[in-house]
Structure 1
Amino acid sequence: MAPQQKPEGDPAGIPSPCPPRFFTWDEIGLRTKPGDPNREMWLVIDRRVYDVKRFCERHPGGSRILNSHVGEEVTDAFEAFHADKSLVNKFLNSLLIGELASDQPTFEPSKNETLIMDFRELRSTVEKMGLMKPNVFFFLALLCHILVLDIASWLILIYFGTSLLPFLLSLILLTIAQVQSAWLQHDLGHLSVFEKTKWNQALHRFVMCHLIGASAKWWNLLHSQHHAKPNCFSKDPDVDIHPFLFTLGKSLSVELGRKKIKYMPYNHQQKYFFFTMPPLLFPVFFHYHTFYVAFKKKFWADLIWQFSHFARLFLVQAYILGPKAFLLYYFLFRMMESSWFVWVSQMNHIPMKVDYDENLDWVSTQLQATCNVEQSLFNDWFSGHLNFQIEHHLFPRMPRHNLWKAAPLVKSFCAKYGIEYQCKPLLRALADIIHSLKDSGELWLDAYLHK
């Protein structure tokens, strides 16, 4: 047998690594074109091109968030969501297929490179100021006040009985505890409470699954999609109610009307909003959906913690109140919790632009979909600091106690580029939900009645 020859130019006989493949934006756009059955799933991060098709189903944030960014430069989204870059890079290295050619711009030609680079300077400034570092004692104090309220809700029933006054007081305290738990789990889900990801995830499971009774991983799947493409129809699950229950946004409402689509009398949606979405989102939809997703995706640890939530309720409140009174108690606090959550979470988004994804840069996508509510001790507590929605969307991992410090910097950035920075009084922000629903409904009706 003839001896095996070594590759030319390699005295050690080790094959040379494949030369990097270079891409143009035209090629990336052509190969990732929506609707193409042979569509590639390529993303660009720091000029490197990655094929995420093999990783899509294993992505912790779900496949939908990757699908929504196919063909785009996503460095800023990558920075916003990932705290442990060294861990993530281990996965990325196996997905690398090449890089942008030297004559290609870093961003798609349609994007404003100056704005993007200025935002990255802003992010660097924010990090140097220490605004991404959490104050753990702040969050532990929040957890303690939640636990005190939760325990007080059933101690009242034990010591004062189940007559109307202690029943109502217990109901109010439990509702407050539940909503404040929702704000705290939001912080934990964004990895903004502890510097170590594992600690955030462990406490997130306790707060979300045990205190609230919902799946932490289910929440992460939905909320990461919302942050990636806020108010983008078919990409943000928070606006998936369009067009089945409500019509949202100007252009989408006109489109529905012209197509003669009428699932609901949308011209009255500002009226039926009061007794549908706010009181029923948690006790009806979320109850079903969180368990459905947890079972379907086999989130067994979450499910065990969720069952511990209901076991505690049955062992304490149900035992004290009895079956009928407990059912009333349970649905009342869920409806009150749901109403509080919906009004706060939607006051920053529904009045803003809702439309199809326009493939804008990260900062423009976030700014057109968010507005702020004025700061006060009550507003901060009542909304879990989601009154600083603009800053939260630009820097999702920023601890909530630092958002107000970043606000002046963001406001100056917006002024430089002529971007509207909306900040409203609380009551006006809540009223704007109704005003925007009314306007959208009227646009739909006008388009529906005219050919």
Structure 2
Amino acid sequence: MSQVVADDVGPLRPQQQFASLYTDLSHTVRDLGLLRRRYAYYWTRIGLVLASLGGIVTGFVLLGNSWFQLFMAAALALVLTQVAFLSHDSAHRQIFDSAAWNDWTARVLAGGIAGMSITWWRSKHSKHHNAPNQVGKDPDIGPGVLAFTPDNAVRRSSAAQWLTDRQGWLFFPLLTLEGISLHVSSLQHQFRRGATRMERIEAAVVISRLGGYVAALFLLLPPGKAAAFLGLQLALFGVFLGASFAPNHKGMPLVPATMKLDFLRRQVLMSRNIRGGLLVDFALGGLNYQIEHHLFPSMPRPNLRRVQPIVREYCAKHGVKYTEVGLFESYRIVTDYLNNVGLRARDPFQCPLTAQYRA
């Protein structure tokens, strides 16, 4: 690659050299109108979700004391996943021009319907968007049940080492616990010391939603069936959500904590798109266009498919690697990556630009 030299200040560093790439791309996208709101799309989806929830409640009441209620539990998990996707879009301000409308829609969808704190999620997710796959900055690869980085793997206690050694194979079974984890993390955030007034109001909404839901199950069903309904719904909810987020960054390059990258490369090189049609779009909530979403977080979901060929061509023109694989291939990559970290405590996916930028 040829070196760019400024007139007065000498050679430009690589991150300066490529700083204008995103600006040029964003101007093109804005001029094409791809950042405009898609009200008809979102009102339709919100209406369908609410109608589906009404149908599930009606079916639940009509079925009564029956093991067929487990089908209702599976349907509820699927619909709540779509609610979570809509709250994600609203929190990113994709739905309305008004920031207040987006914020309150996200609160109602996440807290009142899905039973999760949007303030907790937004704080965590914003850090992820600011530094995807950057060690020490991206909470999605921070210490937890699974070790997503070699450093986390070697620092595990002996009690956790058995899990770490097998974490690639156990990743998807562990997603059955993700639904419970999301609810618990939400409540912990809302009841932490120093919580704001809005967070305490949000906590009351979340507790009312979760408590009312559990009470309704045990009032209308025998304890065994109620517990089975609750367990299946939470397990499937965790799998559906976890399977939509897992392919996006796991197994992509890890960025050293002190490394600086220009915005375009930071978002594109650390993200992975998933090929597929409308079914994949539905199952992953538009997150299969992860590269485009990271480049334009406020872009309405239906426009991500339209902007994809523009971004892909732009990346090819400027020599920025654009990664896109099939859904099952992405899961294989995630499993292999976690096994590499857990079994060999090494990272086979170091950032390919590290040496260049360090120089």
Give the TM-score range, shorter chain. 0.7 to 0.9
Partner of 1:267: 165
Q: Which residue does the alignment assign to 1:234?
A: 136
Residue equivalent to 2:182: 286
3-state DSSP of counterpart to 1:247: coil
1:20-56 CA-partner distances (Å, limit 9, x unpaired): xxxxxxxxxxxxxxxxxxxxxxxxxxxxxxxxxxxxx
Relative contact order, higher structure (CA 8 A, sep 6+): 2
The match for 2:272 is 371
Between the aligned partners of 2:336 and 2:323, the Cα distance in structure 1 is 16
1:90-101 map, 5 Å: none
Counterpart position of 2:235: 335
Within-5 A mapping of 1:326-405 = 326-357=226-257, 358-405=259-306
Change (3 A) 1:332 1:126: same
Deviations 1:379-405 (A, max 9, x none): 111100101000001111111100111
The answer to whether the aligner puts 1:120 opposite 2:23 as a matched pair is: yes
For structure 2, the residue ranges without an aligned partner over 5 or more in a row are 1-7, 349-359
Report the equivalent of 2:80: 178
Q: Structure 1 residue 159: deviation in Å?
A: 1.1
Higher helix share: 2
User: 1-side partners of 2:12 and 2:347: how far apart?
Assistant: 37
The amino acid of 1:220's aligned partner reads R
4+ long deviations beyond 6 Å: none
Return the alpha-carbon distance in structure 2 between the equivalents of residues 235 and 446 of structure 1: 17
Q: Which residue number in structure 2 is paired with residue 420 of structure 1?
A: 321
Q: Indicate if the aligned counterparts of 2:18 and 2:262 stay in contact, CA closer than 8 A.
A: no
2:186 corresponds to which letter in structure 1?
A: T
Matched, 1:149 2:46: no
Shift of 1:311: 4.5
Please give the TM-score of this superposition, normalised by the length of structure 2.
0.86
What pairs up with 1:32-47 in 2 under 5 angstroms? none
The CA RMSD over aligned residues, in Å, is 2.6
- What CA distance in whole angstroms lies between the structure 1 residues aligned with 2:347 and 2:117? 42
Tell me if the contact between 1:154 and 1:317 (Cα under 8 Å) persists in the aligned partners.
no
Contact 1:248 1:354 in 2 (8 A): no
1:282-319, Cα deviation, whole Å (9 max, x unpaired)? 21x32222111112223122113213312441464332
**Structure 1 counterpart of 2:124, one-letter code:** L
Counterpart residue number, 1:54: none
2:337 to 419, 429, 436: 436
Say whether residues 1:245 and 2:145 are aligned partners.
yes
Per-residue displacement from partner, 1:179-224 (whole Å, max 9, x unpaired)? 0011101000100000111110111111000111111111111110
- TM-score, normalised relative to structure 1: 0.69
Within a 5 Å distance, the mapping from 1:68-107 to structure 2 comes to none
Q: Do the aligned residues in 1 keep the contact of 2:273 with 2:289 (CA within 8 Å)?
A: yes
Q: Percent identity?
A: 24
Give the C-alpha shift of residue 331 in structure 1.
2.4
CA contact (8 A) 2:76 2:233 kept: yes
Q: Which amino acid letter does the alignment assign opposite residue 318 of structure 1?
A: F
Within 2, Cα distance between the matches of 1:441 and 1:419? 30
1:43-80 Cα deviation digits (max 9, x unpaired): xxxxxxxxxxxxxxxxxxxxxxxxxxxxxxxxxxxxxx
Q: Which runs of 5+ in 1 are unaligned?
A: 1-102
Find the aligned partners of 1:412 and 1:261 in 2 and give their Cα distance. 46
Confirm or deny: 8 A CA contact 1:132 1:398 kept in the other structure: yes
Which amino acid is the alignment partner of residue 233 of structure 1?
V
**Aligned partners of 2:16, 2:255: CA distance in 1, in Å?**
23
Which amino acid counterpart does residue 236 of structure 2 have in structure 1?
Answer: M
